[in-house]
Each structure stands twice: as structure tokens, then as C-alpha cells.
Amino acid sequence: MQLATVKNVTDDGVQLYGLRIALKPGVVVDLQYNGIKAEFLVVWAGQHGTRKQGELGLQTLPAQPLLWDSCLDRACEFAGNG
């Protein structure tokens, strides 16, 4: 298991940072958030020795549960009140 921090969420993927292991594009990984697990495809990985080291760009795979719905709904509430 590897812990990471979400940097950005879109409709079809997520960007993570803070990873200490190197993954290559094309690898399928499991992410877990709030007890829900889903598979994602690694689309890009930050190169060693650059500012992007430890970052991953992941694409949501078809028929996977949505991990971020409750988080995004809450963020929209805050944005609406701001």
C-alpha cells in the first residue's frame, strides 16, 4: 500500500502527488477512498529528478465506482457559499 495526496480531480481521472514508488504509464492501479476501491490506468508519471517526480496522472476505467462524488459535492457546497 502507498499513500498519496490528490492534487486534482476531473470527470475522467485524477492527479496524485507524494508517491515514493515509480510507476509507468499503462499500469492499472487500485485507489481507495472512504472505503471504496476503484481501478485506474496510469496515463503519465513524473520523471525522476524533475518537479513532477512523485506525481501520477490516472484515468478512470469503465464500470468503476466513483470515488470522489461525496468529496466534490461538499466542495461545491463550499464554493457556493464563498
d(CA 10, CA 65) in angstroms, rounded, equals: 14
The grid coordinates of residue 69 equal 462524488
Count of domains in the chain?
1
Q: Say if residues 19 and 42 touch (Cβ distance below 8 Å).
A: no
Q: pLDDT tens digits for 21-62? A: 889 999 999 998 888 899 999 999 999 899 999 999 999 999
d(CA 42, CA 58): 5
Domain region containing 42: 5-81
* pLDDT of res. 41: 97
pLDDT band at 18 (very low <50, low <70, confident <90, very high): very high
Query: What one-character-per-residue DSSP string does 24-50 give?
Result: -TT-EEEEEETTEEEEEEEEEEPPTTS
Q: pLDDT at position 42, please? A: 97
